Structure 1
Amino acid sequence: MPQTITGYFDTRRDAEMAVERLVQDQGLDRKRVQAMAEGEDNSSGTVVSGADAADAAAGDTPDGVRRGRIVVRAEVEDDMLEAALASFRDCNATGLTPDRA
């Protein structure tokens, strides 16, 4: 029976890595994974990282920077649940549900 895992990420990079691990390492169909801003505003996370770091260092605040966390949701079958949860944890997910720590 499919279950939905939800995790929250402070950086866009961590969210992207979680998606990559689920799809490439775990073989999950990309159509079963969603990544989105936590709120209504566009966001690249709560912590400046990656390409946004250079802009922030220069004093620029690109649209979307630090307006909220990134949410990743994945629908997984029971036999993949533990591996998928590990992928989320390895990529620094917080507020993870279902949480089988």
Structure 2
Amino acid sequence: MPNTITGYFETRRNAEMAVEHLVQDHGLDRKCVRAAAEGENNTSGSVVSGADAADAAAGETPGGVRGGRIMVTAEVSDNQLEAALASFHECGATDVETAQAT
């Protein structure tokens, strides 16, 4: 039976890592994994990271808009559920929820 996992990430990098783990390590179809801003505003996450962190350390204004977390959802089968949940948590997801399709 299909399941939907939803998790929230503070940085775009962590969200992208979760997507890559799901697709490359666990064989999910890329069409079954989505990443989007949590709210209506475009965002690069709520925490400075990656290249933005280097800019901030150099005293420059970091690029990207930090308007909220990144939401990742994945549709997985029962036999993929545990491994997919582990990837969400390993990549720093918070507020992870699962729902089973009826």
TM-score (norm 2): 0.90
User: Superposed, which structure 2 residues align to 1:1-101 within 5 Å?
Assistant: 1-57=1-57, 58-64=59-65, 66-98=66-98
Distance 2:64 2:81 in 1: 35
* Greater than 4 Å deviation, 4+ residue runs: none
Helix, strand or coil at the partner of 1:98? strand
Q: How far did residue 59 of structure 1 move?
A: 3.0
Gaps spanning 5+ residues in structure 1: where? none
- Deviations along 1:35-73, one digit per CA (max 9) or x if unpaired, are 001111110111100011123333314241x21000000
Q: Are the counterparts in 1 of residues 53 and 62 from structure 2 also a CA contact under 8 Å?
A: no
Gaps spanning 5+ residues in structure 2: where? none
Greater shift, 49-58 or 27-36, is seen at: 49-58
RMSD of aligned C-alpha atoms?
A: 1.4
Helix, strand or coil at the partner of 2:24? helix
Distance 1:42 1:54 in 2: 21
TM-score (norm 1): 0.90
Distance 1:81 1:63 in 2: 32
Helix, strand or coil at the partner of 1:40? coil
- Deviations along 1:9-54, one digit per CA (max 9) or x if unpaired, are 0011110110000000000000000000111111011110001112
